A and B are shown apart, each in its own frame.
Chain A
Amino acid sequence: MQFLGRRVFYMAATLLAISLVVFVIISLPPGDFVTALEARYAVQGTRLTPDEVAQLRARYGLDGNVFQQYWHWFSQIVLHGDLGMSFEHQKPVKEVIGARLGATLGISLITLVVTWVLAFAIGIYSAVKQRSIGDYAATTVGFLGLATPNFLIALIFIYFSVSWFGSVPSGLCSPEWCDASWNLGKLLDLLGHLWIPMIVIGTAGVAGLIRVIRNNLLDELRRPYVTAARARGVPEGRLLRRYPLRVALNPFVSTIGWVLPVLLVGDIVTGQILGLPTLGPILLGALKSQDMYLAGSIIMVLSLVTVIGTLISDFLLGWLDPRIRLGNQR
């Protein structure tokens, strides 16, 4: 319990630090949302008077320096759970994010599970059958997957789907199902769309994890305890599961924390290309138009997910590995 309390405290401190840094960095580029608005009006041929500009600034809370703005934003979050207004969407940030958070987390989690299952199976096979044809194939495909940027894979998908089917696979649902309520038909339609972003976002993750698992397991398979367990007659299948695999699991578990944000970042570009209703494209737009409360809030949500992921992996590690659990009692 003490462990839990300490971790939660660290977590809060980390989030506080992240929020400050994020806000300052978002505010760094010259100008603010009103500047961007001015420019947009200028393109349309309307000029804003300095009075109007000052008025707008006051309305959006953009008068005052960065730290006053930060305090305004942060205190609202902590005191009222209010993430502020999105300038661009003219809606509370909560609504803008809320509508898309579900799709983002959904795609990320499903991709994560599929990534793990695949990487785990292929990684173990590769290590146990080292230097077999299957191992070489998995390693080669893994290298390619790791080296190919997500957006390129997405573009390749679009290219082939246009040239073969004449349509672009975009969004998460077909037009006729999008507004329908949930039923089997919509679910099947969703699954039919989901596999493309899953492959696009997950390929690099699978490739990376295969390498992690394979190398860890290869290291562990050479340890004396494997020979010793074999010498005392532990059957091979049980030996692999109970001995080297358990040790090789550790680095795998510690990736839980950072795999999620990697997937979410992958979603920024991929979501843009594939037109997904996720947070990625919104974040990009918010950064471009200096819609700083929206951008800051999205990044805070991502940070929260990351920190929680790290906390989960810490707990799992402590549960799996007595050296971590009992380390300070030695």
Chain B
Amino acid sequence: MSEPLLEISGLHTSFDTYDGKVGAVDGVELTVEAGKTLCVVGESGCGKSVTARSILRLVEKPGSIDSGTVTWHGGEEPFDVLSLDDKDPRLQKLRGDDIGMIFQEPAASLLPLRSIGAQLIEALRIHTGMDKKAARARAVELLGLVGIPDAERRVDAYPFQLSGGMCQRAMIAIALCAEPALLIADEPTTALDVTTQARILDLIRDLQARNHMAVMFITHDLGVVAEMADEVAVMYLGRVVERASVEEVFADPKHPYTKALLRSVPVLGRDRGRDLPTIPGTVPNPLHRPKGCSFHPRCTEAIAGRCDLDEPPEVVFDGGRTAQCVLYDDQSEGDRA
């Protein structure tokens, strides 16, 4: 097995609202391996983005990271990101240097008042200490690398003069300017049209191979997962309910939620003339998390008297894949015996 680059353990992030403390992330366990792609998938509001933001400590008030560890193995010695002081140089280095991040709305993630070149050059100078001239030359080179045509001229373009796809390419150039070991992509293609989406995904894959970088890809699109992932983490209501390789998830999903998600993907030809299966009900309000397994009210395989009472166990299968579900409880015992 390859070495872990980033390990998230027992992460709890919550938001203080007028109705009470809402636990958006409720004990997430995740590992990103060096050079691999981890896809985090789940419905809106399941805590994917908050998990990603917690890694770089970008959670804004009224949100707060309450407990857990985020261990970074990319440096000389592993350290816990969450216990660093705000002014710790390792946190500064982590943001943008060790880890690059791109976001859902590329145009809104760039300051409209400064050219994309100015923002890219700023990042380059912060992380590489280049002088202005060298940074500008490198900026043009990077913009060319991410597929912005006529980069020499576009370097002075403002975000509002570029399309969403071009803005996302510029964001990728900024995120990759210091050649990070990990790229966190928070639904980078959600706001883009389908053809642009495909090109951006290709670009990320190319750059990943080129820079030997790990990618943590957050999405709700299972098609994207199939295309991008090595490993998959399925999240539901602030927890990772299933972790497995991409082949295992699509060929043999274990958790009932994963199964339901896969069933609800339309297949061209097959689904003509019949209703698409959906998951009954909606995601519960995290303020009123159901007792026991949080998925049990919507689960077709729920066992009365167990799922609605006890927290489901974390079951580890052969090969290291896991699922949080009572259905496989015996198997796990058997494995251990």
Which residues of A approach B to under 8 Å, CB–CB?
A: 222-225, 227-235, 242-243, 246-247, 320-323, 326, 330
Contacts and interface: CB of A to CB of B under 8 A. Distances in A.
B108 interface: yes
B175 interface: yes
Central interface residue in B103, B109, B115, by most chain A CB within 10 Å: B109
Given A227-B53, A227-B58, A233 B110 contact: no
Contacts of B101: 228, 231-232
A247 B158 CA distance: 14
Contacts of B171: 228
B97 interface: yes
B108 A224 contact: yes
Interface string B209-252: 00000000000000000000000000000000000000000000
A321 B105 contact: no
Contact of A246 (B93, B104, B113, B119): B113
Contact of A227 (B60, B174, B175): B60
Interface stretch (B73-81, B121-129, B272-280): B121-129
A232 B108 contact: no
Given A222-B60, A227-B103, A232 B95 contact: yes
Kindly list the 5 A-B residue pairs having the minimum CB-CB distance in the complex, ordered from nearest. Answer: A233-B96, A232-B96, A228-B109, A233-B95, A231-B101
Nearest to A233: B96
B83 interface: no
Contacts of B161: 326, 330
Nearest to A236: B86
Interface residues of B, number: 33
Interface of B: 53, 56, 58, 60, 92-93, 95-97, 100-101, 103-105, 108-115, 119, 122-123, 126-127, 158, 160-161, 171, 174-175
Central interface residue in A228, A231, A234, by most chain B CB within 10 Å: A231
A228 B103 contact: yes
Contacts, number: 79
B123 A224 contact: no
A235 B110 contact: no
B109 A230 contact: no
A233 B128 CA distance: 12
A234 B101 CA distance: 13
Given A225-B111, A247-B112, A330-B161, A231 B97 contact: no
A28 B161 CA distance: 52
Central interface residue in B100, B105, B113, B115, by most chain A CB within 10 Å: B113
A323 B158 contact: yes
Nearest to A329: B161
25 contacts: A222-B60, A223-B108, A224-B103, A224-B108, A225-B109, A225-B111, A227-B58, A227-B109, A228-B103, A230-B56, A230-B95, A232-B96, A233-B92, A233-B96, A234-B122, A235-B126, A246-B111, A246-B113, A246-B114, A247-B113, A320-B113, A323-B112, A323-B160, A326-B158, A326-B161
Contacts of A235: 92, 126
A326 B162 CA distance: 13
Contact of A247 (B53, B111, B123): B111
Contact of A233 (B109, B113, B123): B123
Nearest to B102: A228
A231 B127 CA distance: 12
Nearest to B177: A232
A234 B126 contact: yes
A233 B127 contact: yes
A82 B112 CA distance: 48
A233 B124 CA distance: 10
Given A227-B53, A233-B127, A322-B115, 15 more contacts: A224-B109, A225-B109, A225-B110, A227-B109, A228-B109, A228-B110, A230-B56, A232-B100, A233-B96, A234-B96, A242-B114, A247-B111, A247-B112, A323-B158, A326-B161
